Structure 1
Amino acid sequence: MVIMGLKDREAIVRARSRSAAVGVALLCAAALGVSSATAVPTAPLPASATASDPGAEKRKVDAQIEKLREELEDSSAELSNAYIALQQTKAKLPAAQAALAEAESAALAADRANTLAAQELEAARASEAKAQAELDSTTKEVTAGRARVAQFAAQIYQEQGFGQLDMALSSTNPQQFADRIALVDTVMDVQGDTLDRLATEKASLTALEDHLSALRADSAAKKKRAEEALAAAESARDSAARAKADLDALAAQQASQAAEVESQIAADKVRLNDMRAEQSRLKAILVARAAEARRKAAAAAKAEAARRAAERKAGLAARPSTGGGSSDGEGGGYLSRPMTGRVSSEFGMRFHPIDRVWRLHAGRDYAAPCGTPVRAAAPGEIIMAGYAPGAGNRIVIDHGIVKGEHLATVYKHLEGYAQRSGKVSRGEVIGYEGSTGLSTGCHLHFETHQNGEPVDPRRWL
């Protein structure tokens, strides 16, 4: 049987495909476009459904996710995870839409095959019914013919085969004889025709029986094909329903994740404002310390110049200067590498994929397992050690005036502290790498501040 008209089915499928495509498009544009200021961009993650090598595709997706985590460095782990989950769901949508379209197409083809099989079965059954009616009619005619032949044979047997001839010979005059002979001929002709017709009807009966047997076999085959076509159509419709349910589930999941991203964006804005306020506070402190260091350096230089002048006046040899506490550095740069591990992100402007704005990544990131020792990059004094908004557990070291510039280093997202105050030497362990504050994973965010301004650490390393 056919559940619904094929034209109706095709119209429903076309409407459903259009509504699914429009619905997903609107969901991507509206549900994900959290606000004009925080519009979520097109998903950067590839759809894995078309991957020929699952392992290679997984590595590709993992690399994409890692890049996203780096771009979301100034965001919370909650926002990063919610956003990445959203992107992964969006990446699945094209494959789900393709699966739905394929399933709907298969369902239409199966419905057409079911309709055709049902029509063929109906025609076969009609032909079988017609042949059966013809067989029944012919059978009745053969039965009637056999009855007439039997009657004729009985008459011959009763009259010993001479009934008509005796009737002719018993005529009293020539005309009567001629009439009776003609009558006998007519009777014999009728009986011959009856025998001929009976033979023909028996041959036709045999042919009809053979034809009916063939029609019944054809009907049975077409009945089986119709049943198979109906089962295939029902299976295809079930597959289409599952594909539609999968797509609807992805759309619902996407909407939920978009709402979660929106919530986390609002929370991160508060955290980001606090972090910026802390950065401004740190800058003010470092600028003040730089000014004080320069004042002290200038006073020391003035005192040294006066001492040298007095010595020259007294005729004493000039003594070498101690440099006023400044350092000329060592090797290719003044600062040493703060920890082992790979460099996961460099200093520079970075585009934030959620806020859609460029932000300064004010340091260099080193990635390694949480708990890896973090070392002082140069001798100096710890002037801050504690939790700071955005930075998490943080240490700030003042290195004084180096090569005419006031230099400080900052170590963020620490898991814990080894030193919290006092003088430290180069390479001394001061803390341990972690993922506190606005962090998406274990790493050290290392900054260098020159005269209170963040600069590329590579200038000093």
Structure 2
Amino acid sequence: MTHSRPTHVTGPSRGRSRLIAGALSAVLVLLTAAAGPALADSFDDQKASARARAAAADARADAVAASIEGLSAELGQAVLDLQVTQARLPLAQAELVTAQLELERTQREATLIAARLVDAQAQEVAITETIAVDDARGEEIRTAVGQMARRAYKGETAATSLSVVMESTSTADFVDQYGMISTALRTQTQALDELEQMEATNRNSQARLTAVKDRVTELKAEADQKVVEADAAKAAAVAREAEIQQLIADQTAKQAAIASLKSQAEAEAAQIDAEANAIEAELADIIARQRAAEAAAAAAAAAAGKPARAPAGPTGNIPGAIFGNPTSISPMHVTSSYGMRLHPILGYVRLHAGIDLRTYCGTPLYAPRDGTVQWAMSRFGFGNQVMIDYGFINGNSVMSSSNHMTSFAVRSGQHVDQGQLIGYSGNTGTSAACHLHFEVYVNGSTQDPAGMLGL
């Protein structure tokens, strides 16, 4: 508990406990969500990183629980709601940046793919046109060659070297006819060579056209996928922007709601302080009566002429670790230390007058030292409390209280031995979750229990 003189609302409330614990878990998830996956190269490094993240998450959860401890259910929930919003806001802002970067990336890639698609489609058109032109030219050549073949078949151009010699009327006529024949043969050969080359070129063009068509199909698919990705990134960015605006509005509303509860918080803080002061006054009275009894005993012994011990009085510091582990968790785990703590609503620091030790709901709690139970009762803010008196140590009165207990296993006036069961841990009083709030009173005032617990 935040016994800042902390403490509030009386009695256990399972419904409130579940509500606050659930919200606390949500805060933990949100906060740990920011810690990304382990990037360590080795499995050992990954395990170490995971343990470190788990420890950090536990510490954040403890800090959140400590911040709302000492507040009533209504105030604690208001603060917790605000913390959930404040924890989510920076994450949502980071997610917005990520979504915007993703949108820019997909848009850039979509632009590049679109340019490649246009280029590939232009190549497809150009190759298709080249093939069409070559096909037309090839058809012309095949037609011409076919005509020459038909004329030769009909004997229209069946001239031979002998016929040229026999039919020539003169040397000049021979030369002319032979030249014509040679020219016709060369033309035919050239046409066939051109046709063969053109067909080879066309086969290559067809192969290129097939590849380009396949590439066009791929690019169209990629372009469609980029549209989907860009739409998703845009939707994510829009959603994050809307969430951020809502979170800001919620934060403003929750801050206003908390401000409206300030007078309630002040009244509860005053009641907590009054209860803490009442406890110290009761302990001071007990100590005064104990010292008076010792003094009376010493006086009576002196009057009877018997040696008597001097009345107890502070003579020195408490010597080191005088207490055993009061919890069933070994080793002890401190979730919140003794010291000044900022009040989450009133905005000023208050004393957290004990040390919070990790326990779980319904786990055993033990007497940390031999002593006598002063009381086992419910106190405002502290919940179910067991106060144990250990008498005088180095002349100092030493007592301790275990708070927020679910139930008792001891009664007032009962002697207890170190390690004896005194009850079970819980969440009664103004507690955010099941734990042990352990306080030590030296001469009626609280002191940091850490050293006395060996921590």
Same fold (TM > 0.5): yes
The residue number in structure 1 matching 2:3 is none
Question: What are the ranges of 5 or more consecutive residues in structure 1 without an aligned counterpart?
Answer: 1-41, 170-177
1:284 and 2:271 are equivalent in the alignment: no
Q: Given the superposition, is the C-alpha separation of residues 59 and 81 from structure 1 closer, same or farther in structure 2, using an over 3 Å criterion?
A: farther
User: Following the alignment from structure 1 to structure 2, what is the Cα–Cα distance between the partners of residues 254 and 69?
Assistant: 24
Cα offsets for 1:365-398 (capped at 9, x unmatched): 3323332332445534545622633x34334456
Amino acid at match of 2:409: A
> Which has more radius of gyration?
1
The residue number in structure 1 matching 2:206 is 216
Partners of 2:313 and 2:395 within 8 A in 1: no
* Aligned-CA RMSD value: 5.2
User: Following the alignment from structure 1 to structure 2, what is the Cα–Cα distance between the partners of residues 156 and 459?
Assistant: 127
The residue number in structure 1 matching 2:119 is 119
Amino acid at match of 2:414: V
Partners of 1:334 and 1:460 within 8 A in 2: yes
Task: Summarize the alignment of residues 45-56 of structure 1 with structure 2, pairs less than 5 Å apart.
Answer: 47-49=35-37, 51-52=39-40, 55-56=47-48
Partners of 1:65 and 1:84 within 8 A in 2: no
User: Following the alignment from structure 2 to structure 1, what is the Cα–Cα distance between the partners of residues 318 and 160?
Assistant: 148
The residue number in structure 1 matching 2:338 is 348
User: Following the alignment from structure 1 to structure 2, what is the Cα–Cα distance between the partners of residues 87 and 383?
Assistant: 41
| Alignment match of 1:70 (pick from 62, 76, 84) | 62
Q: Given the superposition, is the C-alpha separation of residues 271 and 225 from structure 1 closer, same or farther in structure 2, using an over 3 Å criterion?
A: farther
Q: How many residues align?
A: 403
User: Following the alignment from structure 1 to structure 2, what is the Cα–Cα distance between the partners of residues 58 and 159?
Assistant: 98
User: Following the alignment from structure 2 to structure 1, what is the Cα–Cα distance between the partners of residues 264 and 364?
Assistant: 27
Amino acid at match of 2:428: T
1:366 and 2:357 are equivalent in the alignment: yes
User: Following the alignment from structure 1 to structure 2, what is the Cα–Cα distance between the partners of residues 44 and 226?
Assistant: 45
Q: CA deviation at 1:426?
A: 2.9
User: Following the alignment from structure 1 to structure 2, what is the Cα–Cα distance between the partners of residues 185 and 136?
Assistant: 36
| Alignment match of 2:436 (pick from 426, 436, 444) | 444
Q: TM-score, normalised by structure 2?
A: 0.66
Where 1:317 maps in the other structure, the secondary structure is coil
Partners of 1:293 and 1:400 within 8 A in 2: no
User: Following the alignment from structure 1 to structure 2, what is the Cα–Cα distance between the partners of residues 460 and 147?
Assistant: 119
Where 1:457 maps in the other structure, the secondary structure is coil
The residue number in structure 2 matching 1:417 is 408
1:430 and 2:430 are equivalent in the alignment: no
Partners of 2:312 and 2:395 within 8 A in 1: no
Q: CA deviation at 1:337?
A: 4.5
| Alignment match of 2:308 (pick from 295, 307, 320) | 320
Amino acid at match of 1:443: H
Q: CA deviation at 1:198?
A: 3.0
Cα offsets for 1:268-308 (capped at 9, x unmatched): 97886566334311232134335534654675577567656
The residue number in structure 1 matching 2:189 is 199
Q: CA deviation at 1:133?
A: 1.3
Q: CA deviation at 1:145?
A: 5.5
Q: Given the superposition, is the C-alpha separation of residues 96 and 354 from structure 1 closer, same or farther in structure 2, using an over 3 Å criterion?
A: farther
Q: CA deviation at 1:193?
A: 3.4
Q: Given the superposition, is the C-alpha separation of residues 106 and 159 from structure 1 closer, same or farther in structure 2, using an over 3 Å criterion?
A: closer
1:225 and 2:229 are equivalent in the alignment: no
Amino acid at match of 1:213: R
Q: Given the superposition, is the C-alpha separation of residues 399 and 182 from structure 1 closer, same or farther in structure 2, using an over 3 Å criterion?
A: same
Where 2:305 maps in the other structure, the secondary structure is coil
More displaced stretch, 120-129 vs 268-277: 268-277
Amino acid at match of 1:119: D
Q: CA deviation at 1:434?
A: 1.6
Partners of 1:327 and 1:401 within 8 A in 2: no
User: Following the alignment from structure 2 to structure 1, what is the Cα–Cα distance between the partners of residues 425 and 321?
Assistant: 23
Q: Given the superposition, is the C-alpha separation of residues 371 and 164 from structure 1 closer, same or farther in structure 2, using an over 3 Å criterion?
A: closer
Amino acid at match of 1:409: S
Higher relative contact order (CA 8 A, sep 6+): 2
Task: Summarize the alignment of residues 9-88 of structure 1 with structure 2, pairs less than 5 Å apart.
Answer: 47-49=35-37, 51-52=39-40, 55-72=47-64, 73-75=66-68, 83=83, 87=87
Amino acid at match of 1:415: T
Q: Given the superposition, is the C-alpha separation of residues 63 and 291 from structure 1 closer, same or farther in structure 2, using an over 3 Å criterion?
A: closer
Q: TM-score, normalised by structure 1?
A: 0.65
